[in-house]
Structure 1
Amino acid sequence: MKMSVGVEYALHCLLYIVKLKGKDYVGIKDLAEFQGVSESYLAKVFTKLGKAGITKSVSGVKGGYELAKDPENISFWDVVEAVEGKEPLFQCAEIRQKNILIDQNNLPDSYTKCPCFIKVVMQEGEDEMKKYLSKKTLAWLYNEVYGRILPAETENKTHQWFKSKRETI
């Protein structure tokens, strides 16, 4: 399985806007520059985040993006679904029903009335991943990154960088 890099960009960018106050919106251009990613690509990611109710855009000269709900209520899985879609990761094509040894016009019950065991196992794996990623929120990420992993001044430098960009508008 491979998730697009859009999930990573989304989570990093959302991390930067967790603690925005009042009218300290962040624009796509600034987020893209800070991350070193294409502005048009990131705009598509943020469109998906907006449609999912994770972010909201504020129009105007000093507009930009902010979280649409509390970071405690935005899970990693919410972001994955917003960026990648809600379709299951594994798509069962019922290959077992195309086996050359069985009569295609008269499939036995074991091929039609019980679920494909491979599909069952893959769905259970996806359910476990969903359960795990649903427990990890943006608030948790923020506390881990800025409270435990990075030096204290990194958070201030990050916020100052974005603030300085807004001041030049």
Structure 2
Amino acid sequence: MQMSEGVEWALHSCLNLTWVEDGAAVKANRLAAFYDLPAAYLNKQLQALVRAGILTSTTGPRGGFRLARDPGDITVLDVVTAIEGTEDAFRCQEILRQGPGGRADVDYRRTCAVSGAMRRGELAWRRELAAQTLADLKAEVEGRRPRTPELTRRRFASL
């Protein structure tokens, strides 16, 4: 499975918003400039996060994007599904039906060993992402690099 680069961009943008003082709004072009990303494409990701209730956006001179909820209430899975959608990564096409001994009256999505293994793997992946919040990522980054909040605020100020 390969996710779009928009997932990485969205996660980093959300994480950077956790360090903005007083929850101030940050314009899409400043979020994009932080990592030298194409602003129009990042804006599409940010709009998807707004539709998912992860970010809010306001227009005008003081407008931009900010987190809609506390970082502890936003999971990594929330961000991934906002960008990639909720559809399963593996979709059983029930090819066993056409194989030797295949039957039309069997739901192979439930009985196929391959389908079951893929479902279990995806469930484990989703559980792991759902167990991690932006607050967890923020704490991990700050533990490894304590100056990140200050450096992030400085970088936004210089853009």
Per the normalisation by structure 2, the TM-score is: 0.91
Distance 1:58 1:127, change over 3 A: same
Structure 2: unaligned runs, 5 residues or longer? none
| Structure 1 segments of 4+ aligned residues over 4 angstroms from their partners | none
**1:86-121 CA distances to partner (integer Å, 9 max, x unpaired)?**
00010111111122x347xxx265x44753221111
Unaligned runs of 5+ in 1: none
- What amino acid does structure 2 have at the position aligned with 1:158? T
Q: Distance in 1 between matches of 2:56 and 2:5?
A: 21
Whichever residue aligns with residue 88 of structure 1, its letter is D
Shift of 1:16: 0.6
Question: Do 1:24 and 1:163's aligned partners in 2 also have CA atoms closer than 8 Å?
Answer: no
Aligned counterpart, 1:119: 115
Q: What is the distance in 2 between the residues matched to 1:51 and 1:125? A: 28
Percent of aligned pairs with the same residue? 36
How far has the Cα of 1:75 moved from its partner? Answer: 0.6
What does residue 74 of structure 2 align with?
74
Q: Structure 2: which amino acid aligns with 1:7?
A: V
Distance in 2 of aligned mates of 1:2 and 1:38: 20
Matched residue count? 158
Which has the larger Rg? Answer: 1
TM-score, normalisation: structure 1:
0.86
Q: What corresponds to 1:12 in structure 2? A: 12
The SS at the match of 2:148 is helix
Matched-pair contact (CA < 8 Å) for 1:17–1:67: yes
Q: How far 1:160 moved relative to its partner? A: 2.0
